[in-house]
């Protein structure tokens, strides 16, 4: 046998080199994809991690101030020029940068010592209660000045009136010199000033008096501001018990009076008078009902209360319904409970940026957040503070101890609104009658309480997906089954590519059609759609039943695979008939009588404004649905989303399911038919189970498509973050929320990071969904591997 060259059986070096290169590129590509996903995960996590951190405090400089009996402390916006007010009427500014002190006298002469003082933080206005039943308003103005790149904060003080205002404007002559102003509180808006005072008589047996004075602020033609008296009221007779403390909210429309017996009397300003709205005892069930501390937080509709044993709670205004009359009125009720304090606080200050507040007593201080009831920071201090204050930017804290030393701290707490409870728990928000999951990221005022619960968005995502799948899954699977098992091959070559092209339709076009064409079209045709929903399956079943009973000598004239040609005309006739029959059904069954108050009906849906007439019977499904179910009817609702998103999902499910059914070995089909099974029996009991793994994968991919859909739900749902399964109301999904909120979110703000948290939740949802789908697919394949 001749010798053969063995080298001709060796693989070419060029092929080996290409093979190694391809293996490297494929491996590198796989690793790169994994690293990219991990990188995205790490980046998103880095954005949301600060939302769950606590406040950080860093000690700053300590300054010695002049000895004195200081009654009040405040800070400027930058935290560089805090001020103190003592009982001698001296206003002391402490320059932190230059470590200097400047003092200015506010009253006239030594005989007018300050008996009480209050500070309106929003307008930076001081009110001083002077001897002889007089008071004075003082405005503090701050201004940054720059010398090169160096900034310096300067202050200026303006007296609202050249001379003090005397209580004789509203008090009797004989009581002017016998009473002392022990407390004075100030509230104001652009038009009015409300002053509340506690007058203590010289005789201990006499009762303390509470007076309220309303002043009007007016400007003349020269722009000068003038203060005019509008009225004054002695509220003592309306208060049961001995007066303890008074508080006025920032806008000057609420006055609260506490008594030694533990009661709070709530007075509401209505035009030019004050009316007693409520009297309640917040700690009535405790052994020590006396209220030791009461203060408003930002917004002026919530009060922080502490009793002698350290129990501290938050009361807010919200609607209470009178059980007798049914009339609703905004009254105070308990909404929050905070961790127990060792003792009542000796000072309190609230933030102007959020719902945080600073409290302290002895050597203890704590920073708390009202919305989430969380302690942002607490510590035992190496000194005993008697006064504490927060800067207007919520980035500085200042304490004054008994030795007249001023301690400054840097505060880093950029996201006090965050936390697990804020994002995933029920919270009792201001103005709400109960705890709830709410998303409302912005409001119309600086005192707005951010509501950042992701639960309504997660619910909206699941709701939109659910209604889309109700419509798309049956249609797509039945279409795939018929196409793969019954349709003629020539028609299949047309139908399948057409369905695949449908998957390329832009979702923004579908959303546009849903919002501007489909939603108005079906709004008035709901009864017709109900009839069509039941009539089409019934008609198809009856048609198939009777067709199967037709003798073979007649049925043979219908080519196999073209039975649908006989069904289409029948379905079109049925659809037309139901569409025309719908208004008749509505006139006879969906009738509403205007028995509800017009306001109640309007709350159920804005469409009622145009259609409801008092005492008239109206045949309108849009009015019938809210009255019967108590849920609203909206034009852009889940039904519209189900139709349109279903059209976006159907091509995906159909294509994968049809491929799975077509991939089942034909030997199984032939064996089933040879054993006497009909084509439908073979399709349902042989082909469908054999393709279950692929069909399940198709449904899971369709769910993933629906979960991540943005433009359709953004344009066709009303985009309202509500939590109800009502098919005639909308929703807001996680993806749509990102599209709506992200352009308005300031960089690295709480809202900005919360949107990243929403994206992370969406990522986790899809990851879990795909993982579950893969596990189920493997189990299904294992079950049917014998086939």
Q: What is the mean pLDDT of residues 112-129?
A: 88
Could you tell me the two tokens for 75?
């800070």
Helix (H, G, I), strand (E, B) or coil at 4: coil
How confident is residue 555, by pLDDT bands cut at 50, 70 and 90?
Answer: confident
Query: Coil, strand or helix: which one is 47?
Result: helix
Give the C-alpha separation, 341 to 347, whole Å: 13
Please tell me which residue, 611 or 118, carries the higher pLDDT value: 118
Q: How many CB atoms neighbour CB 714 within 10 A?
A: 21
What is the model's pLDDT at position 244? 92
Ordered DSSP codes for 760-784: HHHHHHHHHHHHHHHHHHHHHHHHT
Q: What is the pLDDT of residue 294?
A: 94
Inform me whether the pLDDT recorded for 458 exceeds 90: yes
Q: How many angstroms separate the first and last alpha carbons of the chain?
A: 50
- DSSP symbol at 744: G
Q: How far apart are CA 16 and CA 561, in angstroms?
A: 52
Which three-class secondary structure state does DSSP give residue 565? Answer: helix
Cα–Cα distance for residue pair 365/380, rounded to 1 Å:
7
Query: Which two structure tokens, joined as six digits, stand for 603?
Result: 């709350």
- For position 561, what pLDDT does the model report? 65
Q: How far is CA 439 from the centre of its chain?
A: 2
Residue 228: count of CB within 10 angstroms of its CB: 9
Q: What is the DSSP string of 248-310?
A: E-TTS-EEEEEETTS-EEEEEEETTEEEEEEEE-TTTTSS---EEEEEE-TTSSEEEEEETT-
Rounded to whole angstroms, how far apart are CA atoms 721 and 733? 8
User: Cα–Cα distance between 113 and 131 in angstroms, integer?
Assistant: 6
pLDDT at 92 over 80: yes
620 vs 455, higher pLDDT: 455
Pairing of strands 451-452, 591-593: unpaired
Phi, psi of 233 (to 5 degrees): -140, 135
pLDDT at 457 over 90: yes
- Write down the residue that tokens 């993806």 correspond to: 735
Map residue 529 onto helix, strand or coil. Answer: helix
Helix axes 526-549, 564-589, angle to 10 degrees: 140
Q: Could you tell me the pTM of the whole model?
A: 0.87
Of all residues in the chain, the percent with pLDDT exceeding 90 is 40
Read off the tokens for 721.
Answer: 């973050």
So what's the pLDDT on residue 777?
77
Q: Mutual orientation of helices 734-741 and 750-783 as an angle, nearest 10°? A: 150
Pull the structure tokens for residue 136.
């004075």
Statement: residue 663 has pLDDT above 60: yes
More confident residue, 565 or 104: 104
**Token code pair at residue 764:** 């986790």
Task: Name the helix (H) or strand (E) containing 48.
Answer: helix 13-48
Beta carbons of 653 and 476 less than 8 angstroms apart: yes
Mean pLDDT calculated for residue range 178-205: 84
Average pLDDT (460-464) is 93
**DSSP characters for 628-686?**
HHSS---SS-HHHHHHHHHHHHHHHHHHHHHHHHHTS-HHHHHHHHHTT--HHHHIIII
pLDDT digits (tens, 9 = 90+) for 125-173: 999 888 777 788 899 999 988 887 788 888 988 887 767 776 655 444 4
**Separate counts of helices (H) and strands (E) for the chain:** 20, 33
Give bridge partners of residue 105 from the DSSP assignment: 90
Average pLDDT, the chain: 86
Among 177, 174, 252, 246, residue whose Cα is nearest residue 209: 246
Choice between 774 and 702, residue whose per-residue pLDDT is larger? 702
Which whole number is the average pLDDT over 202-228?
77
Contact between residue 71 and residue 86 where contact means Cβ atoms under 8 Å apart: yes
pLDDT, tens only, 348-389: 999 999 999 999 988 899 999 999 999 999 999 999 999 999
Model pLDDT for residues 652-661, shown as the tens digit of each residue: 999 999 988 8
pLDDT tens digits, 598-646: 445 445 555 444 444 455 777 889 888 988 888 899 988 999 998 999 8
Question: Going by DSSP bridges, is the β-strand pair 356-361/347-350 parallel, antiparallel, or unpaired?
Answer: antiparallel
Give me Rg for the CA atoms of the chain.
37
Which residue did the predictor score with more confidence, 301 or 769?
301
CA pair distance 468, 648, nearest whole angstrom: 9
Q: Identify the weakest region by mean pLDDT among 328-342, 496-510, 553-567.
A: 553-567
**Angle CA 178–179–184, to nearest 5:** 160
* 3-state secondary structure (DSSP) of residue 377: strand
* pLDDT exceeds cutoff 80 at 284: yes
pLDDT at site 470:
92
pLDDT at 175: 45
Q: Going edge to edge, which strands form the sheet with 179-188?
A: 179-188, 192-201, 209-219, 225-234
Please check whether residue 212 is in contact with residue 267, taking contact to mean a CB–CB distance below 8 angstroms.
Answer: yes
> pLDDT-based confidence at 690, cuts 50/70/90?
confident
Least confident range of 214-218, 605-609, 646-650: 605-609
Among 415, 310, 325, smallest CA distance to 366 is for 310
| 224 contacts 206 by C-beta, under 8 angstroms | no
Count CB atoms within 10 A of the CB of residue 322: 10
CA count, 13 A, side-chain hemisphere, 22: 6
Helix axis angle, 750-783 to 455-485, nearest 10°: 30
pLDDT band at 8 (very low <50, low <70, confident <90, very high): low
- Residue 404 above 70 pLDDT? yes
Yes or no: say if 652 and 503 are a contact pair by the CB < 8 Å rule.
yes
| Helix or strand holding residue 410 (H, E) | strand 405-412
Question: Strands of 347-350's sheet, edge to edge?
Answer: 347-350, 356-361, 364-369, 374-380
pLDDT tens digits for range 231-250: 888 899 999 889 999 999 99
- C-alpha–C-alpha distance, residues 733 and 723, integer Å: 11
CA distance 166 to 136: 9
């Amino acid at each position: 046998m001749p010798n053969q060259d063995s080298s001709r059986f060796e693989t070419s070096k060029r092929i080996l080199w290409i093979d190694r290169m391809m293996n490297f590129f494929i491996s590198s590509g796989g690793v790169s994809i994994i690293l990219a996903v991990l990188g995205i995960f790490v980046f998103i996590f880095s954005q949301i991690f600060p939302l769950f951190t606590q406040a950080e405090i860093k000690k700053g400089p300590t300054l010695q101030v002049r000895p004195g009996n200081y009654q009040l402390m405040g800070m400027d916006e930058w935290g560089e020029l805090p001020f103190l007010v003592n009982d001698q009427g001296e206003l002391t500014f402490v320059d932190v940068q230059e470590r200097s002190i400047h003092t200015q006298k506010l009253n006239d002469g030594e005989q007018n010592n300050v008996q009480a003082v209050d500070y309106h933080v929003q307008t930076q206005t001081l009110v001083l209660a002077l001897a002889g039943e007089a008071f004075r308003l003082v405005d503090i103005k701050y201004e940054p000045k720059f010398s090169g790149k160096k900034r310096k904060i300067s202050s200026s003080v303006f007296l609202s009136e050249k001379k003090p205002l005397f209580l004789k404007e509203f008090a009797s002559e004989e009581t002017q010199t016998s009473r002392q102003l022990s407390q004075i509180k100030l509230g104001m808006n652009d038009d009015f000033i409300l002053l509340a005072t506690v007058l203590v008589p010289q005789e201990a047996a006499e009762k303390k008096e509470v007076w309220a004075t309303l002043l009007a602020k007016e400007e003349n033609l020269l722009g000068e501001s003038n203060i005019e008296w509008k009225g004054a009221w002695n509220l003592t007779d309306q208060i049961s018990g001995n007066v303890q403390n008074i508080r006025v909210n920032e806008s000057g429309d609420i006055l609260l009076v506490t008594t030694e017996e533990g009661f709070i009397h709530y007075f509401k300003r209505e035009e030019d008078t004050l009316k007693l709205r409520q009297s309640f005892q917040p700690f009535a069930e405790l052994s020590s009902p006396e209220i030791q501390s009461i203060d408003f937080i930002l917004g002026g509709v919530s009060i922080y209360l502490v009793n002698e044993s350290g129990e501290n709670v938050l009361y807010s205004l919200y609607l209470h319904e009178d059980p007798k009359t049914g009339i609703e009125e905004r009254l105070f009720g308990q909404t929050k409970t905070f961790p127990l304090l060792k003792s009542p606080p000796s000072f309190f200050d609230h933030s102007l940026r959020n719902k945080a507040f600073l409290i302290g007593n002895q050597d203890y201080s704590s920073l708390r957040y009202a919305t989430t009831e969380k302690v942002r920071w607490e510590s035992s201090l190496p000194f005993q503070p008697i006064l504490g204050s927060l800067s207007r930017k919520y980035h500085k804290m200042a304490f004054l101890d008994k030795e007249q030393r001023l301690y400054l701290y840097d505060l880093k707490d950029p996201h006090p609104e965050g936390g697990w409870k804020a994002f995933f728990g029920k919270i009792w928000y201001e103005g709400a009658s109960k705890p709830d999951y709410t998303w409302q990221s912005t409001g119309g005022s600086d005192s707005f309480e951010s509501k950042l619960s992701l639960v309504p968005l997660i619910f909206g995502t699941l709701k939109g997906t659910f209604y889309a799948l109700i419509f798309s899954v049956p249609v797509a699977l039945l279409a795939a089954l018929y196409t793969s098992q019954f349709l003629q091959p020539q028609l299949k070559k047309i139908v399948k590519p057409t369905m695949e092209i449908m998957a390329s339709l832009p979702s923004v076009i579908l959303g546009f059609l849903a919002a501007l064409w489909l939603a108005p079209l079906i709004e008035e045709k709901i009864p017709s759609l109900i009839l069509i929903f039941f009539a089409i399956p019934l008609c198809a079943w009856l048609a198939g039943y009777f067709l199967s009973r037709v003798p073979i000598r007649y049925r043979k004239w219908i080519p196999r695979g073209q039975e649908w040609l006989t069904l289409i005309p029948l379905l079109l006739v049925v659809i037309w008939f139901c569409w025309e029959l719908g208004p008749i059904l509505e006139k006879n069954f969906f009738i509403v009588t205007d028995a509800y108050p017009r306001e109640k009906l309007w709350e159920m849906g804005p469409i009622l404004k145009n259609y409801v007439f008092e005492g008239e019977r109206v045949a309108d499904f849009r009015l019938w649905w809210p009255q019967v179910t108590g849920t609203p009817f909206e034009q852009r609702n889940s039904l519209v989303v189900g139709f349109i998103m279903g059209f976006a999902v159907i091509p995906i499910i159909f294509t994968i399911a049809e491929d799975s059914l077509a991939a089942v070995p034909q030997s199984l089909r032939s064996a089933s038919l040879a054993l006497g099974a009909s084509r439908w029996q073979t399709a349902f009991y042989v082909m469908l189970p054999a393709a279950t793994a692929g069909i399940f994968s198709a449904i899971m991919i369709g769910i993933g498509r629906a979960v991540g859909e943005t433009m359709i739900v953004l344009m066709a749902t009303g985009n309202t973050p509500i939590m109800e399964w009502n098919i005639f109301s909308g929703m807001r999904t996680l993806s749509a929320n990102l599209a709506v909120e992200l352009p308005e979110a300031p960089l690295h703000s709480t809202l900005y990071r919360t949107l990243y948290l929403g994206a992370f939740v969406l990522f986790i949802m899809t990851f879990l969904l795909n993982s579950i789908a893969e596990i189920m697919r493997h189990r299904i394949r294992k079950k049917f591997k014998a086939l």
